[in-house]
Amino acid sequence: MTLYAAYGSNLDPRQMLQRAPHSPHLGTGWLRGWRLTFGGEEIGWEGSLATLAEDSSASVFVSIYDLTRQDESALDEWEGVTTDLYRKIRVRVETLNGTQSCYVYVLNSFEGGIPSARYLEIMIAAALEAGAPDDYIAELRSRGVR
């Protein structure tokens, strides 16, 4: 079993169904000791990209998927692991059923910059669709955009 903790725009269950169609959604949880941030502005897209940074006072809302090998390979390619844009790391996610060991994608770039308004709106819609709590949505809405 390969557990994946989705954050950012990957919280959208329809998007994950397209990217990992054979991998069931197992629920949601919290990645404690990490914060959602942005980086990679120098890459040249419309703004910075979502990533994670360690922060003992923060938490990130995530959706957990049990990925098949085929879907894991496809998601690795989609997220840019094969081009070294993102890397996979193991983290512990707190769920109602206990702590789960999952992997997440972390940007291989410096933290900094701000996302585009379009990208942040996609992330907010995805968080709403995944059932993120109101305070998490409010924090996303309070972020600056390009």
pLDDT in tens, the chain (146 residues): 799 999 999 999 999 999 999 999 999 999 999 999 999 988 867 889 999 999 999 999 999 999 999 999 999 999 999 999 999 999 999 999 999 999 999 999 999 889 999 999 999 999 999 999 999 999 999 998 77
The structural domains of the chain, ordered by start, are 2-138 (3.10.490.10)
CA dist 21 → 65, 75, 87, 130 (Å): 11, 10, 22, 17
pTM given for the model: 0.93
Taking the CA of residue 108 as centre, how many other CA atoms within 13 Å lie in the half-sphere pointing to its CB?
11
- H/E stretch holding 62: strand 49-67
